[in-house]
Structure 1
């Protein structure tokens, strides 16, 4: 991973971005993309949209490339009389994936630290939320109604901080630092921070190599992917073109024959759609041509900005380029070369989208 990519990724990891409140990550991407694109705007849905003007005179398609700004997070369901917070998930995430520990509560008037707790292991069936999660007890997976956020504050203090049902809660900054070990990196929320980093890196490659796409390209940092592809469907409907190409993580698992150190993964289908075969074939062939050892995959228990836009009828053609990732929707791990490989394939495809 290049120093520029590493620095951008850490900035993105440090930026809180729960669904519906992606402002911090959007600002990081705005600063990174501004010198690399011809126009930069924010649309009505909150997507950041960068335009790379094409050279013209080609039958190549206008392409919308999308990577999402939002992260898996929590939302306050209710404030209890003792000042604890009951939480629901924003996106598909379980308490065991986040882990018990510090949180940041994004109150309207104040941000402050809370702690996600289950309860003491030194309890019996009189404390059912703990007992039912014990292997020698109820042996059930930990659910959101088992845990709570301890704030150490009164209801009146929470009201003054602007905390109420709908307040977003995120994994604390102390747990959002990029960890590097051997040939790998790890952190929460590599989904979709590494894809955003690859999107910026591809734009940088095109600028440094003085290459322009044959037709216009829209680089879209989308909102609300984890909540149903909200931003992507809006951008696919309102921006020119008929192709939506998503960048997202993908599971590095044996069932898909995708190892963690493999090249970019070209998806041919997921739970929502079958992706455009001509585009997928082109990405796969170009990946081989560039020596990136790409993989093909059919994802299950998965969808993306592109497949959600396609299944809702907002784009005519959809494609997905995935970054192989261990422990998706948990504490995620990628190879250090994954971002660079994905950026190279994306830049090559945008410059030569047809063979």
Structure 2
């Protein structure tokens, strides 16, 4: 195992352990800023909470600047209400269901104290009298598990939760104990929230290289907020930063319907549920990937959105592109090849430094 691989893995693990629910991404952003600042010409945080690093290009023409985006936020939850016994009901932030992450420990990010709770359905040793539980059993009610079925046991009174700053609107994250990287087989890594911490790691890898090589045109590396709830930060950055191209870095689904595999090369998006990406951008990404021998995979995606497609569909960028790490079980327990991060960084670097 090389020193570079271990450093990259250690950084990815640090990012995974940091909580970054939509609208409260500071812990993840602080790590990214520490890693980014030595490798950019300027760095700042904009009014939307995005972390931005500028690397000036050789041409000096910022009209052709590229905004490359990877999002800081993760799928998370909000406290919807506090019951008289101190239990909580939740609503999701982003497209997720209780089954995506399973029952178990969660973390409540109270204003004054972090509180551990347990997301639970209740006992399987129940009958039809316990209707809420009974109807989710495959051999009984046969309803899929949803947020109305589960609740959070906190072990605290409502008064204690108030003292901790836990109330409706408090962000709730899957507990750190469930966010440890594991080795899968000989060449894969698994964890929750590789979306989008793996792509964030690839963008930081890219910053280290292109600062010395210098891109053809100015590049804005944008670590965005609230992507999971509509691409909020990415849309703001696309509207306010110079340039005509927004390129999103994401996890990409590996399913037969898209002819993509987790063992294959970087996925290049030609369209998703929000927009059709610019063909010349996608073709160039494919060409660069082929030149590098990375076996890129072209994909037309459904039920998928990105910072770039949100910006393109709302007219905030004239051009958009999508580059993904091939990922098994997106928005669930995700698996990527060990080479997926360096492959993305290598393709992105070459795309940015080539003239035109």
Q: TM-score w.r.t. structure 1 length?
A: 0.97
Shift of residue 205, structure 1, vs aligned partner? 2.2
**C-alpha distance 57-26 of structure 1, shift in aligned 2 (>3 A):** closer
User: In 2, distance between residues paired with 1:160 and 1:57?
Assistant: 54
Distance between the aligned counterparts of 1:27 and 1:46, measured in 2? Answer: 11
Moved over 3 A (4+): 57-60
- Compared with structure 1, are the counterparts of its residues 34 and 344 closer, same or farther at alpha carbon in structure 2 (3 Å cutoff)? same
Counterpart CA distance in 2 for 1:59 and 1:146 is 52
Partner of 2:66 in structure 1?
A: 63
**Corresponding residue number in structure 2 for 1:291:** 293
Partner in structure 2 of residue 333 of structure 1 = 335
> Is structure 2 residue 17 aligned with structure 1 residue 5?
no
Q: Distance in 1 between matches of 2:317 and 2:235?
A: 8
Match in the other structure for 1:150: 153
- Structure 1 distance, partners of 2:298, 2:24, is 34
Distance apart, 1:184 and its partner CA: 0.5
Deviations 1:211-241 (A, max 9, x none): 1012110000000000000000000000001
CA contact (8 A) 2:62 2:218 kept: no
Equivalent of residue 99 in structure 2, options 96, 101, 112: 96
1:230 and 2:210 correspond: no
Tell me how far 1:4 sits from its aligned partner.
Answer: 2.3
Q: Give 1:62-81 correspondences, 5 Å limit.
A: 62-81=65-84
Query: What is the SS of the residue equivalent to 1:231?
Result: helix
Structure 1 segment 17-166 matched on structure 2, within 5 A: 17-56=20-59, 61-166=64-169
The match for 1:195 is 199
The normalised TM-score by structure 2 is 0.97
Name 1:239's counterpart in structure 2.
241
Equivalence for 2:270: 268
Cα drift, residue 103 of structure 1? 0.5
Unaligned runs of 5+ in 2: none
How big is the shift at 1:59?
A: 9.4
Q: Which runs of 5+ in 1 are unaligned?
A: none
In 1, Cα distance between equivalents of 2:116 and 2:141: 31
Q: Secondary structure of 1:116's partner? A: strand
Between the two proteins, the alignment pairs up a number of residues equal to 352
Alpha-carbon distance between aligned partners in 1 of 2:270 and 2:239, rounded to the nearest angstrom: 22
CA distance in 2, matches of 1:4, 1:238: 34
1:303-318 equivalence runs, <5 A:
303-318=305-320
SS in 2 for 1:349: helix
Distance 1:353 1:173, change over 3 A: farther
Computed over aligned residues only, the root mean square deviation of the Cα atoms, in angstroms, reads: 1.2
Is 1:281 the equivalent of 2:283? yes
What SS does the corresponding residue of 1:2 show, helix, strand or coil? helix
Given the superposition, is the C-alpha separation of residues 132 and 22 from structure 1 closer, same or farther in structure 2, using an over 3 Å criterion? Answer: same
Q: CA deviation at 1:249?
A: 0.5
